[in-house]
């Protein structure tokens, strides 16, 4: 069995420092296409993705997002928003964000989810109407430092998974 997808999941890390090297437009398109192709509840696709490449625009996003000053150094960022009246918006859009993160990582491009503060200002800044809620701004870029692929700090499987009934050892 090919383990490309699992390898991407196993090795992907949150990347917060980026090289100056630009991510090419073809690859940016592929990353956003991965979001578009993602499944959503009832196939409603209740989302919109604003791709930001302009350096000044990226700097402004870096000042607006409380947890994401490093957006300013990214090659590009995607403002990911869902239709506020969709009860599936958060689930659907989270999957689409993960599609972008993994597609980028498979091509050597790092990213991270930033948000939790300043996102309504981001919405207005990128011209999205008040029918949308910004869930995350995801900066992308080639990692500045060598990354320890797959060096993850995660709870052991036995702690987070059970067999048949919660509390029964899975392994
Ligand atoms: C839903 C979600 C929200 C996150 N929000 C932030 C954030 O606002 N700022 C940040 O620096 N990292 C954020 N992260 C990155 C996590 O902190 C990071 O993935 C986690 O610490 C594990 O690190 P690793 O992915 O490098 O193994 C977020 C990750 C997820 C999945």
pLDDT tens across 104-154, in order?
A: 999 999 999 999 999 999 999 999 999 999 999 999 999 998 887 778 899
Note whether 11 and 80 are within 8 A (CB): no
Site to substitute for ligand 1 among 112, 116, 151, most atoms within 8 A of C-beta: 112
Domains of the chain: 4-160 (3.40.109.10)
Question: Which residue's CA lies nearest to atom 2 of ligand 1?
Answer: 113
Question: Which residue's CA lies nearest to atom 1 of ligand 1?
Answer: 113
Closest CA to 114 of 137, 134, 93: 137
Question: Which residue's CA lies nearest to atom 10 of ligand 1?
Answer: 114
pLDDT at position 148: 72
Q: How far is the CA of 111 from the centre of ligand 1 (A)?
A: 10
pLDDT at position 2: 60
DSSP-derived secondary structure for 39-99: --GGG---EEEEEE--HHHHHHHHHHSTT-GGGGGSSEEEEEEEETT-TTHHHHHHHHHHH
What average pLDDT is seen over the chain?
Answer: 95
Which residues have C-beta atoms less than 6 Å from ligand 1?
13-14, 16, 67, 112-116, 152
Which residues sit opposite 114 in a β-bridge? 137
pLDDT at position 1: 54
Give, for all 171 residues of the chain, the pLDDT tens digit.
567 899 999 999 999 999 999 999 999 999 999 999 999 999 999 999 999 999 999 999 999 999 999 999 999 999 999 999 999 999 999 999 999 999 999 999 999 999 999 999 999 999 999 999 999 999 999 999 888 777 889 999 999 999 999 999 997
Site to substitute for ligand 1 among 70, 113, 148, most atoms within 8 A of C-beta: 113
pLDDT at position 120: 97
């Amino acid at each position: 069995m090919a383990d490309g997808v699992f390898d991407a999941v196993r090795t992907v890390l949150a990347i917060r420092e980026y090289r100056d090297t630009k991510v090419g437009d073809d690859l940016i398109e592929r990353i956003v296409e991965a979001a578009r192709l993602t499944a959503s509840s009832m196939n409603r696709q209740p989302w919109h993705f604003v791709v930001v490449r302009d350096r000044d625009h990226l700097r402004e996003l870096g000042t607006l997002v409380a947890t994401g000053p490093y957006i300013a150094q990214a090659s590009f960022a995607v403002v990911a928003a869902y239709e506020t009246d969709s009860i599936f918006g958060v689930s659907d859009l989270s999957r689409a964000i993960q599609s972008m993160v993994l597609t980028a990582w498979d091509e050597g491009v790092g990213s991270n989810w930033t948000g939790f503060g300043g996102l309504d200002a981001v919405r207005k800044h990128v011209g999205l109407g008040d029918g949308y809620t910004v869930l995350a701004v995801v900066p992308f870029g080639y990692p500045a430092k060598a990354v320890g692929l797959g060096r993850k700090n995660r709870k052991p499987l036995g702690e987070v998974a059970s067999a048949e009934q919660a509390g029964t050892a899975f392994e």
